[in-house]
Copies of this chain bind each other. A is one copy, B any other.
Amino acid sequence: MINVGIVGYGNLGKGVCLAVEKAQDLNCVGIFTRREPSAIKPIINVPVYKTEDLQNFKEKIDVLILCGGSATDLPTTTKEYLKDFNTVDSFDTHAKIPEYKKELEEIANKYGHLSAISIGWDPGLFSIARMLFGALLPSGNDYTFWGKGVSQGHSDAIRRIDGVKNAIQYTIPKEEAINSVRNGENKPLTARQKHLRECFVVAKDGADKERIEAEIKNMPNYFSDYDTVVHFITEEELLKNHSKLAHGGFVMRSGETTTENKHLLELSIKLDSNPEFTGSVLTAYARAVAKLSKEGKTGVVTVFDVPIKYLSSLAEEDLVKGLL
């Protein structure tokens, strides 16, 4: 039995709870929160503690699953927890991963722990596809498409505009771009050519909608490089029609082995619940971290380092017999 602790109880923490409960080889020791524990009613039957209580669990937890956010939580908290525990996290600020990895490596090696970072579907499953496809088909290009799904960061950016009461932003891959890749056209595609950004905005009473729409469409980094569509709706409509956490996407590699022979490799995912699937991925990697740590491995690993057999609850012989 592998004992896990779950740190943080937002949407992702709930997803991890569901996945851990389904896994017969995993036991959830507790949920650890910065909130008042009594305020939390977990969806599974498991005790809730304050994060300060973690010091009493050093010998009782094989791996901590960190369910905080990449922007503020993980960069500071992972370093602290890694001193006392093995960890898994979903750090997803792509540009900062090398630096984050390096910082954690020092701590992991010093304290003899193992940390799996940037686990989820992107980074995570999609990274596996990009790396694997590129190694198996070196002459070619890869394309990642996200969506249709809610982009939390972009939704937040709209909500910060003056006069906006609430907003949801969907990233939508463009059919013509997907088809171009599938047809082996192998051409470079700009951000604008690959994705559409669709925004559903609730304006405050009396707010200037034209100004809000212009501010969204011209927002640098977030929207100005994309075709952006803005719809103004009521708060009721937003809550009724735009509360789902569905997401998905594609990784494609189009390449050739000779000029005549072209090949297309494609991974696609369609998720009803982004946090529940991400939680399931984190849970599989928590299993891997516990097993690898038991074998004596320390340091920091990503999806590129972990042999996939460690993710399964099945015995190696059964994997070879049933799935190879």
Residues of B within 8 A of A1 (CB): none
A73 at the interface (CB under 8 A from B): no
Q: Indicate if the CB atoms of A135 and B284 lie closer than 8 Å.
A: yes
A123: nearest chain-B partner, CB-CB: B324
A267 at the interface (CB under 8 A from B): yes
Q: Indicate if the CB atoms of B316 and A304 lie closer than 8 Å.
A: yes
Q: How many residues of A contact B (CB 8 A)?
A: 65
Q: Indicate if the CB atoms of B131 and A18 lie closer than 8 Å.
A: no
Known: A304-B320, A304-B324. A261 touches B284 (CB 8 A): no
CA distance A312 to B132 in the complex (A): 8
Q: Indicate if the CB atoms of A136 and B280 lie closer than 8 Å.
A: yes
Within A155-194, the residues touching B (CB, 8 Å) are none
Number of copies: 2
A142: nearest chain-B partner, CB-CB: B323
A263 at the interface (CB under 8 A from B): yes
Q: Indicate if the CB atoms of A261 and B272 lie closer than 8 Å.
A: yes
A115 at the interface (CB under 8 A from B): no
A144: nearest chain-B partner, CB-CB: B323
Residues of B within 8 A of A305 (CB): 307, 309
Partner-B contacts on A (CB < 8 A): 15, 18-19, 22-23, 94, 97-98, 101, 118, 123, 125, 127-132, 134-139, 256-258, 260-273, 276-277, 279-281, 284, 302-309, 311-313, 316-317, 319-321, 323-324
Known: A97-B321, A98-B321, A305-B307. 16 other contacts (CB 8 A): A22-B139, A23-B138, A98-B317, A98-B320, A128-B132, A129-B267, A130-B323, A131-B308, A136-B281, A138-B280, A257-B273, A266-B268, A267-B267, A302-B324, A304-B316, A306-B307
